[in-house]
Amino acid sequence: MKILVAIKRVQDYNVKVRPKSDGSDVDIDGIKMGINPFDENALEEALRLREQELATEITVVSIGDSKNEDVLRHGLAMGANRAILIESEESLQPLGVAKVLKGLVEKEKPDLILLGKLALDSDAGQTGQMLAGLLNYPQGTFVSKIEIDNNKLIVTREIDGGTNILEMDMPAVLTADLRLNEPRFVKLPNLMMARKKTIEKIKASALASDTSTKLELLEVLVPPSRKAGIKVSSVKELLEKLKDNEGIQL
Amino acid sequence: MKILVIAEHNESELNESVFKVISAAKSWNGEVDLLVMGKNTVHVAQKASKIKDIKSVIRLDGIHLEHLLAEDAAKIVEMLSNNYQVILAAHSWFSRNFLPRVAAVLNVSLITDVLKIENNNVYTRPIYAGNVHAKIQSKDPIQLLTIHTSLFEACARDGGNAEIIKKDTPPAMNLTSWKSEKINKSDRPALIDAKIVISGGRSLGSEENFDKVLSPLVDELGAALGATRAAVDAGYAPNEIQVGQTGVVVSPELYMAVGVSGANQHIYGMKDSRVVVAINNDPDATIFQFADYGLVADLFDAIPEINKLIKE
């Protein structure tokens, strides 16, 4: 069984980004970047499936410029067999990403495609479902457990108020929730070895003819902040303030 | 201009979010239809037809729609889409599951978690965990969006008499099959609808403390219990009560953050609350920057004291 894991390069989750001074975009110059956490869970799960001898080959793929090689090397250091960089000069929206990945899936024919359920930068949470739709594949989103029985996928999904379990044939697209697993720590020697590995390169235009969308970013804004609050000195004062200032009678 | 709102329901009641999405749909000054799909939608469609602001209720029934799989839901919306210029739903796990699939098949973008709708199809939505907002314009022939419902007022629930139109349901896609579901039942109000939410962080220290310290106050106030991701990851609370970017986004009248640090991801989930109270023994905790009222105190003393004073 071949698994394709799509990984995105995003800002570190602790970083608080700001708009550029002209408001044209987000200022991410000099910010610590790395693999999108949910995608790391997706890759970890692929590695575990290989350790259970259910998967044979794991390919990590990322879309962007040469800077994306760092997340691909991280993927190789975690244990992926191959890495593919899909070269794209423009920054693609989820629909464009899904179209490019569809082209790669048709070329590589993986049995399972794993992605994170959302990316920390765009907060869109769409690529997996879009890819499944374009391929007309079964989908399992927000997945917190994956089992394989008789070549069927049995996935547990996080839903409102609990979980549900779906069963599906492969090929399929699954998106990982953070609860899926705890990604392994990358050891330095593995990182060193990953530096020497080859990263295959494909132009995005060779995989999808039209990746543009009719979305235009007009402005990036600082959200309205909450009014400055006050500190109270006791529980009694807190309850009085809630009652007198806010009309909340507890 | 025709607009379709996708309703979330449990076959007897419409979800609260539906009324807010209908308000958002009125931004276009067009005719709004409500889509109700499920195993048996007769009763819920009848209730929905009383909503003043809608033109028709479109209902589709099918045995295979009982657990509404993404592939089937997407197929239905895709089938109806050529009648509409705008399609919208609440930004919930329900719609996030299948609307991207619809978007891809229709070759349009999906704009998620819309905070504000302006003229000429300009929207504001949060990016980077809500640290910044993006203003975007879509020139797609169909505007497909999910709405950040806490920022929209609910529309009136009655006074209308919408026509109920039953449509034929496409056959089951049979790409996935539903096996089972585990919903943790609680007598407490749902997080998303609760007027008061009390959330605990990792400072609670254990699952026992989480329950022992917070539950009496939560129940006394008829509140919902929430938790930060750190508390959930530490095993102190179940995942479904997680408030934040990867959990539920809440906007109650009163939000109490107890022993919560104030990580980006958590703030994303609660910053639309009307009044925020933070109780933390660390005076430098980030949460105080988002709180209307901050109390620097040991939560193990403060919470029982609040409960005691309220009872008096």
Asked if A120 and B128 come within 8 Å (Cβ–Cβ), the reply is: yes
- SS3 annotation, A76-123: HHHCCCEEEEEECCCCCCHHHHHHHHHHHHHHHCCCEEEEECCCCCCC
Cα distances (Å, whole numbers) of residue B95 to A40, A89, B111, B117: 25, 31, 12, 19
Q: Convert A232-244 to b/e letters by CB count within 10 Å (16 or more is b).
A: beebeebbebbee
Of A26, A236, A250, the CB nearest to B132: A26
B168-194 pLDDT, tens digit per residue, is 999 999 999 999 999 877 888 888 888
B54, B60, B65, B71 alpha-carbon torsion, rounded to 10°: -80
**Token code pair at residue A119:** 């990316």
Contact B104 A213 (CB under 8 A): no
Half-sphere exposure of A186 (CA within 13 A, CB side): 21
Contact criterion met (CB below 8 Å) for A85 and A95: no
Residue of B102, B245, B295 lying closest to A235 (CB–CB): B295
| Residue A148 three-state SS | strand
pLDDT at A161: 81
- Smallest CA-to-CA distance from B227 within B244, B245, B205 is with B244
- Pair of tokens at residue A76: 């190789």
Instruction: Inspect the interface and report whether the beta carbons of A235 and B297 lie closer than 8 Å.
Output: yes
| Distance to chain B for A124, nearest Cα, Å | 6
Q: How far is A237 from chain B (nearest CA, A)?
A: 9
Over residues A9-36, the pLDDT tens digits come to 999 988 889 999 999 999 999 999 999 9
Cross-chain Cβ contact B105/A133 below 8 Å: yes
DSSP letter at B14 equals: B
Distances in Å between the Cα of B307 and the Cα atoms of A124, B46, B48 are 40, 43, 40
pLDDT at residue A228, as a whole number: 80
Bridge-based pairing of strands A152-159 and A162-169 is antiparallel
- Closest CB to A123: pick one of B113, B179, B277: B113
Q: Quick check: B90 and B147 in contact, CB under 8 A?
A: yes
Q: CB contact, 8 Å: A212 with chain B?
A: no
How close B212 comes to chain A (CA, Å)? 19
Peptide bond into A19 cis (omega under 30): no
Q: How far apart, in whole angstroms, are the C-alpha atoms of residue A153 and residue A165?
A: 10
Question: Do residue A166 and residue B178 have CB atoms under 8 angstroms apart?
Answer: yes
Contacts of B294 in chain A (CB under 8 A): 229-232
- How many pairs of residues across A and B have Cβ atoms under 8 Å apart? 240
Q: In chain B, which residues have their Cβ closer than 8 Å to the Cβ of A234? A: 295
Q: Which residue has the tokens 């309850």?
A: A239
In the prediction, which pLDDT does A199 show? 98
> Can you tell me the distance from the alpha carbon of A217 to that of A22, in angstroms, rounded to the nearest whole number?
13
| pLDDT reported for residue B300 | 96
Q: What is the pLDDT of residue A249?
A: 84
Nearest residue of B to residue A93, measured between CA atoms: B109
Residues of chain A with pLDDT under 70: none
Residue A196 near chain B (CB below 8 Å): no
Q: How far apart are CA A67 and CA B81, in angstroms?
A: 39
Sequence-separated (6 or more) residues with CB below 8 Å from residue A228: none
Q: Are A198 and B237 in contact (CB under 8 A)?
A: no
Tell if the CB–CB gap between B109 and A213 is shorter than 8 Å: yes
Query: Which pLDDT does position B265 carry in this prediction?
Result: 87
Amino acid at the residue B270:
M
Distance of residue B136 Cα from the nearest chain A Cα, in angstroms: 5
For chain B, residues with pLDDT lower than 70 are none
Q: What proportion of chain A, given as a percentage, has pLDDT over 90?
A: 90
Q: A166 CB near a chain B CB, below 8 Å?
A: yes
